[in-house]
Amino acid sequence: MIGLLSGIVTFLVGLLCCVLWLIFTEQGNIVLNGEGLPGQFDDEEADLEPETTALPQMTEMERYRYFQARGFIRAHPPLSEVTDISLSQYMNIQERGVWAWEFKNNSPHINNCFVEGKTDIYFLDGVTMIQANLPIPKHNDVYYFEVKMYDKPESSLISVGLTTKPYPAFSLPGYHRYSVAYDSTGQKRINQPFFGVPYGPQFYQGDVVGVGYRPRTGTVFFTRNGKRLEEAIHGLKCNLFPTIGANGECNVNVNFGQSGFVFIEANVKKWRFGPIQGSLAPPPPYGDENNTVLLEEGQDYANTCEASDIAVGTSNHILYPSRAPPPFEPALAINQTDLSQSTRENPASTNIFLPTYMSVNDNSENCGMS
């Protein structure tokens, strides 16, 4: 009897444990359908709650830009574009070093931003952003760049960060998926189009903002005027492009390592994007160059060839005449009466020769090379 009771108790305890295990494991999954099956996390579903809260507080223009960007992302999902460094881009980096990174306004959607000197960016009215032409490399432990605020009115907001491609050009970095940014209000944004979170001090005209990236861990950190701020995000492992955005008139300059950084640690540990000088020599100039070694050697070679032609003399002239010989004309028919008469008057004239076109001893201008 005791064994039977103990067996029943053991069975009931085991059954209870199984029920509890099933309950807790089912609640641990993310369920997005009514069948109780775990589904894939949907970013748009996650945005519904803050969207309903934030949209009424937005202006009409802000709502327009938000829906415009959302439509762009649906048509061009993040990471859908091949952004790996191609062979031609790699050769360009080998040749130019850190100077291979630059900003180009190639988007038809950007009409209020232009670039001078490849790294001087001028923003006009309206919200826009611009990306570097190449992604951040992944060979070293850390890569770092800085942005100097040359001209920044108080009414203009500047956002400095990293984005992927494709990314809506009429939005700011940090507003959409796989992007992070630190803006001039002192807030950071990570995939957040509605609101930012306090992060660091505000920055103004004359300040320098830096961005550091660790490819192995996907960690992003920022600096302000040479002082490092806390790490902004971890696990962002994809091809990221340095990105600058603004909503008004301003002027910034980007330093990928062409000159010294304000952040001393980046100088000591050489966190620039590439070597200052490329490993491949540039092609020789083909302009109006005088007194160069290459031209002097070529002139000496030409003088040597001319002297050799003079020394060889007429033998070269015979083999390579400068002018073609005159056309061949058959000998004129001679009347037998005239021939007989001329023979009687001058017996030596019986030997008739056709005219020769070139004589070995002839040094006339028809055969010579001046």
Mean pLDDT calculated for residue range 272-283: 79
Residue 351 lies in a domain: no
Q: pLDDT tens across 322-363, in order?
A: 455 555 555 444 444 444 444 445 554 444 444 444 444 444
For residue 205, the model assigns a pLDDT of: 95
Nearest residue to 275 (alpha-carbon basis) of 262, 260, 258, 254: 258
Residue 82 lies in a domain: yes
Residue 283 lies in a domain: no
Across the chain, what does the average pLDDT equal? Answer: 77
Pick the residue with more confidence: 41 or 271? Answer: 271
For residue 45, the model assigns a pLDDT of: 52
Q: pLDDT tens across 292-321, in order?
A: 555 556 556 556 555 555 444 444 444 444
Nearest residue to 129 (alpha-carbon basis) of 197, 69, 79, 211: 69
**Residues 113/173/165/54 CA torsion (nearest 10 deg):** -120
| C-alpha to C-alpha distance for 241 and 164, rounded to whole angstroms | 6
- Which residue range is the domain that position 261 belongs to? 47-268
With a cut of 50, say whether residue 36 has pLDDT above it. Answer: no
For residue 228, the model assigns a pLDDT of: 97
Pick the residue with more confidence: 235 or 55? Answer: 235
For residue 32, the model assigns a pLDDT of: 38
186: left (phi over 0), alpha (psi -120 to 50) or beta: left
DSSP secondary structure letters along 81-134: S--SPPHHHHHHHHHHGGGG--B----TT--SEEEETTTEEEE-SS-EEEEBSS
Report the CATH number at residue 195: 2.60.120.920
With a cut of 90, say whether residue 277 has pLDDT above it. Answer: no
Structural element, H or E, at residue 5: helix 2-28
Residue 175 lies in a domain: yes
Contacts for 83-86: CB closer than 8 Å, 24+ residues apart: 83/135, 83/164, 83/165, 83/239, 83/241, 84/239, 85/134, 85/135, 85/137
| C-alpha to C-alpha distance for 121 and 245, rounded to whole angstroms | 10
Does pTM top 0.85 for this prediction? no
Residue 304 lies in a domain: no
Residue 310 lies in a domain: no
Lowest-confidence pick of 31-35, 56-60, 98-102, 276-280: 31-35
With a cut of 50, say whether residue 285 has pLDDT above it. Answer: yes
| C-alpha to C-alpha distance for 178 and 37, rounded to whole angstroms | 27
Q: pLDDT tens across 142-191, in order?
A: 999 999 999 999 999 999 999 999 999 999 999 999 999 999 999 999 99
What's the domain count of the chain? 1
Provide the b/e sequence for 322-354 (b: ≥16 CB within 10 Å): eeeeeeeeeeeeeeeeeeeeeeeeeeeeeeeee
| C-alpha to C-alpha distance for 255 and 145, rounded to whole angstroms | 6
Nearest residue to 25 (alpha-carbon basis) of 17, 14, 35: 17
The pair of three-digit structure tokens given for residue 89, joined into one six-digit string: 């881009």
Q: pLDDT tens across 65-91, in order?
A: 888 888 888 998 888 888 898 999 999
Residue 21 lies in a domain: no
**What's at 153, amino acid-wise?**
P
Pick the residue with more confidence: 48 or 169? Answer: 169
Whether 177 and 43 have beta carbons less than 8 Å apart is answered as yes
Lowest-confidence pick of 230-244, 268-282, 314-328: 314-328
- Percent of the residues in the chain that have a pLDDT greater than 70, as a whole number: 65
Residue 331 lies in a domain: no
pLDDT band at 140 (very low <50, low <70, confident <90, very high): very high
**Is the Cα dihedral 99, 101, 105, 110 positive or negative?**
negative
For residue 282, the model assigns a pLDDT of: 58
For residue 7, the model assigns a pLDDT of: 72
